[in-house]
């Protein structure tokens, strides 16, 4: 990977986003603009077109095209926006979804609704339960989705190479 591409992927480190450097951003310097997008809501276009918003969200093709068009349009802007924020509903229908991963609860939790597993991962930051600060590793194959929550210390001290192989080989 080229150095510039690596820099783009590594902008956030030590609770700091390098795209917004403190020495530059701590005082007002000039006017700026940002882009706000909302509701790509993958699956709603088909559901709405067939008149069944409760069940028809199994196709995302149109929304994907529009989202790609939005990204391309933003990338071509000059001057560049300061940042982009996406709000609202990200998905409407979930074709073939076996698990939904979320946060906001600041502790690990989960359960099932019909055939969909709800997986709530604890926080990197402030813990509200007994879980440690960490991240969830999710292994996906055509047949299954398996996951495990790791403390930040576990990840830092031993990585996940062997565990990934074990997760991918679980029945």
Report residue 107's pLDDT band, with 50, 70 and 90 as the boundaries.
very high
Q: Give residue-wise pLDDT tens across range 56-98.
A: 777 888 999 999 999 999 999 888 888 888 877 777 766 677 8
Hey, what long-range contacts does 95-103 have (CB within 8 A, 24 or more apart)?
Answer: 95/43, 95/57, 95/58, 95/59, 95/60, 98/144, 98/145, 99/138, 99/145, 99/147, 101/136, 101/138, 101/147
Q: Give residue-wise pLDDT tens across range 7-27.
A: 555 556 665 666 667 777 778
Q: Give residue-wise pLDDT tens across range 124-139.
A: 889 998 999 999 988 8
pLDDT at 94: 63
pLDDT at 71: 92
**Separation of alpha carbons 171 and 169, rounded Å:** 6
């Amino acid at each position: 990977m080229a150095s510039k591409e690596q820099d783009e992927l590594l902008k956030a480190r030590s609770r700091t986003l390098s795209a917004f450097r403190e020495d530059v951003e701590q005082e007002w310097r000039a006017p700026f603009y940002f882009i706000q997008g909302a509701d790509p809501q993958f699956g709603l276009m088909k559901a709405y077109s067939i008149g069944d918003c409760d069940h028809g969200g199994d196709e995302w093709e149109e929304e994907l095209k529009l989202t790609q068009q939005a990204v391309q349009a933003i990338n071509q802007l000059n001057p560049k926006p300061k940042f982009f924020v996406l709000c609202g509903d990200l998905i409407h229908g979930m074709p073939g979804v076996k698990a939904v991963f979320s946060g906001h609860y600041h502790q690990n939790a989960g359960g099932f609704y019909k055939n969909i597993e709800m997986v709530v991962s604890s926080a990197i930051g402030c813990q509200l339960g007994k879980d440690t600060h960490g991240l969830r590793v999710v292994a996906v194959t055509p047949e299954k989705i398996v996951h495990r929550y790791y403390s930040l210390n576990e990840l830092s001290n031993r990585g996940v190479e062997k565990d990934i192989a074990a997760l991918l080989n679980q029945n």
